[in-house]
Amino acid sequence: MTGLRSRFVVCEDGTEYVERFRRFLGDDFDFVPAHDFGEARAAMPGAAGILLDLDFRRTPPERLVDERGPAPAPLDAGTRARLVETQGILILRQLRAAAIACPAVLFADFDDAGQRAFLERTLAPLTIAGSRLGLAEIAALLRGY
């Protein structure tokens, strides 16, 4: 941590979230990028929480995880599509399995309220933040951690 600023790991397959958060919220928080499960796990000690994207289409297949751990190689197209479309959830599942229990925010829009409730219950503490959540609301959420 830098001074009294909370540090958050931002897990995504690009840099859009971390750049946006650093630009607009960087005066109050530190943001550390992680591009896959391995980088996220390594960055977690001392973090106040983790912020995860849902979709990881740009992640190389050998860096993906599934429900059991590292995804088996080679991946067929259907399996790869399923894994990249839910990689944020799968990464968080692996972090929870590794006894990392810090608060998490998953940036995703779910139409199914039951699916959302299931994820929030089984991956707690978890907040699912839809695309309508603004920066001021995200900052307020992070201050609560």
What pLDDT is stored for residue 140 in this prediction?
Answer: 97
Nearest in space to 119 (alpha carbons), one of 144, 142, 145, 88: 88
Joined together, the tokens standing for residue 118 give: 């299931």
Which pLDDT tens digit goes with each residue over 68-91?
Answer: 999 999 999 999 999 999 999 999
What is the pLDDT at residue 40? Answer: 98
Q: How large is the C-alpha radius of gyration of the chain?
A: 15
49: DSSP letter: E
Q: What is the pLDDT of residue 4?
A: 79
Helix/strand/coil for 129:
strand
What is the per-residue pLDDT for 103? 98
Q: Is residue 34 within a helix (H) or strand (E), and if so which, with residue range? A: strand 29-34
Structure tokens at 50: 């983790």
Pairwise CA distance, residues 101 & 95, whole Å: 8
- Stretches where the chain sits below pLDDT 70 are 1-3
What does the pLDDT look like over 97-115, one tens digit per residue? 999 999 999 999 999 999 9
Residue 118 φ/ψ, nearest 5 degrees: -60, -50
Predicted pLDDT at 1: 43
Residue-wise DSSP of 61-96 = GGG-B-SSSBPPSSPPHHHHHHHHHTHHHHHHHHHH
